[in-house]
């Protein structure tokens, strides 16, 4: 089991030395720092203003039972405060991991501190921190188990079958777009050596906290639906909470007789895995809700083909919600949008390598994009040196879905397995 010392992210000096990387990191930290203030303002403060703008007789009616709307807003504020405890823990984990001190209040109004990251988050960063917190429902709550099984289950079963066909040999697996790290943990618990890759600092900060720092299972109370007031059958469902994480990663790994090694790379997938030094490193690549994050899917397949061994597997589960479909040419950003020493109970086990890649390859921001159908993706996979061994479609895969909501958005995902010739 790979370990890292003193909870440091390997390579964090590279991030500090690169101004662009530092800016993105600081903005992510600030977005978690600002979560409570922004959520209270947008979710309850503005609603209180709108409520009191109603005719007096109307708001008095709604303020009384059985509606008690003002009590509802107070309960929403309490839920936001509980979510903020997780946001703050993620931020503090990031500060510790990167050796960043909390900024001091400037002595004067005009004094500037170049290391003061407060106020750097954009509206997009703030939305990403909120969606990252909500993603804990899917990846790290007991209630999210059905969603995880729909997507992660086919990957685990395919790898188990492949290991059996190889007479139990050790398999090394890459999970690009690893998010909050749950699939990486599950594969390591199954005995596979697994490397996750993620580009989003919001997701990386959150996964590092939950995998390395969170002291116990059920340490945080999360209110996943508290930000939205639409399509609730009842107020009790609107204010429903879950406990995260449902398992303590360190304790779970320690209970496995022969766990796999775990690592995480923080970099642009294309920049890292297209390199010659990555050639043939992996026995399998598991793409779960990932391929549609590509502006140019050919580049993704080229990188996957490069880092797979001959005879290796590409295991895919997901829809085709092309993330850059409406972007103007050349305006791709680097963030995947949402569809995340010792602690109190165990040693940390996630080795995270922050890689700042300087390469002639532009990476995911390379200009140009294309959107294919599922049939066309399969045809492309075959043309690029793979043989399809299994294919099924129409797999019901909710994504952070409130099962009690009056609206249900569910993907009918494609699952296929391809072998590199």
Which band of pLDDT confidence, cut at 50, 70 and 90, is reported for residue 361? Answer: very low
For the cut 90, the answer to whether the pLDDT of residue 336 exceeds it is no
Tens digits of residue pLDDT in 4-29: 333 344 434 455 567 888 899 999 99
Q: Are strands 410-420 and 308-318 parallel, antiparallel or unpaired?
A: antiparallel
Q: Are strands 172-176 and 282-288 parallel, antiparallel or unpaired?
A: parallel
- Average pLDDT value for residue range 53-74: 98
Mean pLDDT estimate for the chain: 89
For the cut 70, the answer to whether the pLDDT of residue 132 exceeds it is yes
Q: Which pLDDT value is given to residue 359?
A: 37
For residue 262, which phi and psi values (nearest 5 degrees)?
Answer: -120, 135
Q: Which pLDDT value is given to residue 112?
A: 65
Bond before 245 cis per omega within 30 degrees: yes
Choose between 14 and 160: higher pLDDT: 160
DSSP string, 92-124: HHHHHHTTPPPPPPPSSTT---TT--TT---HH
Q: Which pLDDT value is given to residue 345?
A: 28
- Average pLDDT value for residue range 361-386: 89
Which band of pLDDT confidence, cut at 50, 70 and 90, is reported for residue 340? Answer: very low
Closest CA to 143 of 73, 39, 235, 243: 243
- Average pLDDT value for residue range 349-378: 67
């Amino acid at each position: 089991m790979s370990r890292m010392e003193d909870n440091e992210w390997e390579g964090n000096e590279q991030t500090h030395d690169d101004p662009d990387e530092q800016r993105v990191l600081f903005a992510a930290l600030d977005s978690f720092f600002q979560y409570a203030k922004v959520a209270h303002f947008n979710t309850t403060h503005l609603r209180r203003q709108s409520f009191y703008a109603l005719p007096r007789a109307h708001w008095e009616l709604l303020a009384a039972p059985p509606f008690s709307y003002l009590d509802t807003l107070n309960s929403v504020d309490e839920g936001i405060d509980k979510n903020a405890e997780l946001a703050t823990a993620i931020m503090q984990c990031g500060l510790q991991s990167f050796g960043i001190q909390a900024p001091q209040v400037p002595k004067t109004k005009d004094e500037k501190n170049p290391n003061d990251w407060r106020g750097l988050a954009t509206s997009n960063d703030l939305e990403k921190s909120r969606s990252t917190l909500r993603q804990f429902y899917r990846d790290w709550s007991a209630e999210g188990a059905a969603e995880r099984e729909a997507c992660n289950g086919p990957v685990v079963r395919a790898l188990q079958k492949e290991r059996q066909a190889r007479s139990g040999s050790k398999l090394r697996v890459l999970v690009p777009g690893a998010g909050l790290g749950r699939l990486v943990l599950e594969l390591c618990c199954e005995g596979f050596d697994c490397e996750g890759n993620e580009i989003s600092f919001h997701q990386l900060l959150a996964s590092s906290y939950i995998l390395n720092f969170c002291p116990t299972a059920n340490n945080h109370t999360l209110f996943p639906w508290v930000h939205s007031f639409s399509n609730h059958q009842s107020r009790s469902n609107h204010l429903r909470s879950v406990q995260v994480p449902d398992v303590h990663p360190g304790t779970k790994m320690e209970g496995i007789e022969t766990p796999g090694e775990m690592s995480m790379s923080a970099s642009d997938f294309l920049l890292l895995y297209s390199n010659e030094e990555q050639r043939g490193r992996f026995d399998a690549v598991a793409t779960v809700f990932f391929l549609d994050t590509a502006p140019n899917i050919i580049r993704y397949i080229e990188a996957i083909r490069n880092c797979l061994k001959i005879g290796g597997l590409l295991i895919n589960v997901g829809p085709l919600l092309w993330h850059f479909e409406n972007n103007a040419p050349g305006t791709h950003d680097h963030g995947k949008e949402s569809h995340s020493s010792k602690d109190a109970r165990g040693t940390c086990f996630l080795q995270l390598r922050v890689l700042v890649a300087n390469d002639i390859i532009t990476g995911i921001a390379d200009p140009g994009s294309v959107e294919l159908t599922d049939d066309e993706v399969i045809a492309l996979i075959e043309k690029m040196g793979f043989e399809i061994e299994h294919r099924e479609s129409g797999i019901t895969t909710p994504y952070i879905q409130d099962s009690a909501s009056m609206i249900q958005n569910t993907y009918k995902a494609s699952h296929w397995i391809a072998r590199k010739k």
